Amino acid sequence: MAPPQPRPSGTSYIPTLDGWRAIAIFAVMVCHGLDQKIYPAAEPLGYAGVLLFFAISGFLITSRMLDEHELTGTVSLGKFYVRRAFRILPPAIFFLLVISVLGVFKVIPFNFFNILKAFLFVRNYTFLNYADQSTWFSAHFWSLSVEEHFYLIWPTILVLAGLKRARWLAPALATATIIWRMLDSKYEFVANAFHANYLTDNWGRTDYLADVLLWGCTLAIWLGRMPWKPRLPRGTTTLMCAGIMALLYLAFFTPHFPHSRNFVNIFMALLVGCTVTDPGSILGRLLEWTPLRFIGRLSYSLYLWQQLFFHVDQEARWFQRFPLSVAFIFAAACFSYYLVERPTVRLGHRFARPPKLGHADDLRNGKSRN
């Protein structure tokens, strides 16, 4: 394994995060590609992958806002939301249009209201009725809904509170989320208020998952800009990450720690924080391996399109049969990334110029700006 690539002076690109994205999307694809009745461990693996995506998002978005504040003395919420909209919405809308067209022509089952719920990013608060086979093709928008809710709320909180208050507010809100989740799981406040049993102990709700994003925000604030500079003692990161992974395994795959699921979110954020701080560790070098970083850059498009070509609890269509399904996933993801995602990100930057164009992940270098 080659040593980690030196980061250009004055840049805030963190290639380790692309590696983690690749790990996360592999976990999701294994979950959806396997028959969960035969491989029951696949379901928690996929959920763990989504939690890892959330931890990365919290860390990354907060880091970007810290960069802007450092360079300009302020954070422009308007420009932030324009860039996020051009980054997230076009690939998602393109995917929804494609599955709608396929549905209209009877290639796959189609339900307009399922598409509408996904488009409005409320999938994680609506009933996922898998008896209706059309539900499957937009069900994964539950996680995109969580991220969109986070993008709408956290930047405003950070700007209004200021960096000094946010330093303590982010972990306080994360802790409050844990307490709320434990109380609501027991007393079912939300489900009873809305007379919606499907909201009972629903681990896809934003109010249940805000802490994993907030722990990522907390680490970004406390580590500061360019967190790789203060390196940890040799071997520390490997030992810490091994311990965290062992705790995650116990939480997801053993019944002996019934309350541990309440704390896996902070473990996910710590995994990201440890490796970002020490990219020279064994795990850090693996995460910065060029093929993994390439998969990480494709991860958003891969996440969108894998749902079309997998068939959990459905009869497989010809394009959903392995290994053809995997080939189609990567082909569709590359098409989306190069012809939809990257051009619209450039357009968003044109309308809302970032405070600094010299990041190592600048689009002109062939890498997607986050």
Residue 160 lies in a domain: yes
Contact between 273 and 16 under an 8 Å Cβ cutoff? The reply is: no
Peptide bond into 323 cis (omega under 30): yes
Q: Confidence class of residue 12 from pLDDT cuts 50, 70 and 90? A: low
34 part of a folded domain: no
Mean pLDDT of the chain: 86
pTM over 0.85: yes
**pLDDT the model gives residue 254:** 77
Q: Is residue 322 part of a domain?
A: yes
- Domain count along the chain: 1
Classify residue 42: in a domain, yes or no: no
Give kind and range of the element (H or E) at residue 150. helix 141-187
Helix or strand (DSSP H, E) at 84: helix 77-104
Please, which pLDDT band fits residue 73 given cuts at 50, 70 and 90?
Answer: confident
For position 356, what pLDDT does the model report?
Answer: 60
Higher-confidence residue of 197 and 369: namely 197
Find out whether 282 and 65 touch, Cβ atoms under 8 Å.
no
State pLDDT tens for residues 95-125. Answer: 999 999 999 999 999 999 999 999 999 999 9
* The residue to which tokens 């996910």 are assigned: 268
Residue 363 in this model has a pLDDT that exceeds 50: no
Within a domain: residue 16?
Answer: no
The number of beta carbons lying within 10 Å of the beta carbon of residue 260 is 15
Q: Is residue 293 part of a domain?
A: yes
Residue 246 reports pLDDT greater than 60? yes
The per-residue b/e assignment along 132-159, b for 16 or more CB within 10 angstroms, e otherwise, is: ebbbbbbbbbbbbbbbbbbbeebbeebb
- Domain containing residue 278: 55-365
Q: Would residue 2 count as lying in a domain?
A: no
Complete DSSP assignment for 218-235? HHHHHH-SSTTSSPPPTT
At residue 100, the pLDDT reads 96
| Share above pLDDT 70 across residues of the chain, in percent, rounded to a whole number | 87
What's the rounded Cα separation, in Å, for the pair 124 and 145? 6
Q: Is residue 77 a part of any domain in this protein?
A: yes
Higher pLDDT, residue 346 or 262: 346
